[in-house]
Structure 1
Amino acid sequence: MSLREQKKLETRRTISHVATRLFIDRGFDQVTIADVAQAARVAKMTVTNHFSRKEDLVFDIRTDFVDWPTNLVRAAPSSPAVVAVRDGFLTALGERSAMLGFAELPFIRMIRQSETLSSALTEMHLERERVLVAALLDRKPEPEMLSRTAGAHLTSVLRLLFEDVWDWTWADVPPEELVSRVRKSAGLAFAQLEPAIGTL
């Protein structure tokens, strides 16, 4: 990565971080792009050049989030998709990764209290499914429905586990217990999927 690209990435991260703090403190709907620009000490156009939508300021990891299960599948071409996603999930669980929904309670509260942000998160989960289905179709183009249902099932499990992480964080479940609960739920969910999806 060139120095210029590094600087652009640092600027983007700074803007996202500053914006998220403002949204948490004041509420998403109460903060304008101009407020973000002023707090981040950049021009308003700089903010809009990096983020086409206001909600993108919060979901700066959108691309990573959407592509995550697909990257797991592509990184393990000889493994069944369900095994690749399960193993990747358990590794990420040990890291308490944001890909699984791990976040501080104020961040979760901010999103749940905003219809715009909640809708954007739903879009991200749906996009996750579309991208994964496309990758599974590359593996097995026919019958198409097999890859479509496999992708839908896998991403549905990821979404349900994501919601569990948020619900238990909201309920102030201790971190170690939360991880233990998620690991148990994931084991049950993926065990159900393996016979259904098979070796795809």
Structure 2
Amino acid sequence: MPRTSERGGPRTRARISEVATRLFLERGFDEVTVAEVAREAGVSSVTVFKHFPRKEDLLLDRTDDATELLRAAAGAGPDVLAALRETTLRLADERHALSGLAEGSVPFFRTIAASPALVARTREIAAELQRTLENELPGDATLLAAFFVAGYGTVLVGTARRLIAGDPPHAVADDHRARVENLFDALRHGV
């Protein structure tokens, strides 16, 4: 297979991610090596690691998107909860990958659940996102950031479980949206 440009920036990154995701979903995360991903993508292992510092990030590659969404919501004005609510509901309505409602999410969720390394990395990413939100908000926002990230994580896990169980996607999406609304009611008014 001819080698693609080793410098290729976003296109190379996207190709590596696409190949890795396909291989992980077909064979399981723990069964695929970085060398196999590199070979299939037509790049070196060094190039893979330049774009993805950890093997887990080859599949969990939306952290930058989530970080930017949190930053935008935090900077949207004085009512951060309204901005976060609007963002999470928009993601659900668009069936964005970060909502857990995107088409094809079930194999993704199964792959994560089957790998302790991926489960651990999702927890690390949640902690990183919590710190990002804390740093973007004025004052001591530790509790708000912790409650939002934990609450949204709980919504996502519930959505994943229902989709894996075979519940109808439209019913899962309606329930997801209702649980997001409940999360923001609890954040604004308490439990």
Structure 1 length as normaliser, TM-score?
A: 0.84
Amino acid at match of 1:77: G
* Structure 2: gaps of 5 or more residues: none
- In structure 1, what is the equivalent of residue 88 of structure 2? 89
Contact 2:69 2:87 in 1 (8 A): no
Q: Does 1:43 align with 2:37?
A: no
Which has the larger helix fraction? 1
1:123 — aligned with what?
A: 124
Matched, 1:171 2:165: yes
In the alignment, residue 87 of structure 2 is paired with which amino acid? G
Q: Which residue of 2 aligns with 1:101?
A: 100
Q: 1:124-143 counterparts in 2 under 5 A?
A: 124-136=125-137, 139=138, 141=139
Instruction: Compute the displacement of 1:130 (Å).
Output: 0.8
Q: How big is the shift at 1:164?
A: 1.6
- Give the AA of the match of 2:57: D
Give secondary structure in 2 for the equivalent of 1:128: helix
The answer on whether the counterparts of 1:70 and 1:135 sit within 8 Å (CA) in structure 2 is yes
**Shift of the alpha carbon at 1:66?**
3.4
Contact 1:100 1:158 (C-alpha < 8 Å) held by counterparts:
no
- Could you report, residue by residue, the CA deviation over 1:45-99 in whole angstroms, capped at 9, with x for unpaired residues? 221222221111112212112342332121x213x11111111111111001122
SS of residue in 2 equivalent to 1:194: helix
Map 1:1-200; keep pairs closer than 5 Å: 7-74=8-75, 76-78=76-78, 80-103=79-102, 104-136=105-137, 139=138, 141=139, 144=140, 147-196=141-190
Tell me if structure 1 keeps the 8 A contact 2:70–2:84: yes
**Cα distance between partner residues in 2 of 1:50 and 1:87:** 31
Q: Can you list the C-alpha shifts for 1:95-118, whole angstroms capped at 9, x where unaligned? A: 011222235211111111000011
- Measured after TM superposition, the shift of residue 154 of structure 1 is 1.5
Question: 2:90 corresponds to which letter in structure 1?
Answer: T
Give the 3 Å change call, closer, same or farther, for CA 161–70 of structure 1 in structure 2.
farther
| Structure 1 runs of 4+ with >6 Å offset | none
Mapped to 1, the partners of 2:122 and 2:59 lie a distance apart of 10
CA-atom RMSD, angstroms?
A: 1.8
In 1: Cα distance, 2:48 partner to 2:180 partner: 38
Count of matched residue positions in the alignment of Structure 1 and Structure 2: 183
Match for 2:33: what amino acid? T
Higher relative contact order (CA 8 A, sep 6+): 1
* Structure 2 residue identity aligned to 1:88: T
Q: Report the TM-score when normalising by structure 2.
A: 0.88
Structure 1 distance, partners of 2:124, 2:42, is 30
Gaps of 5+ in 1: none
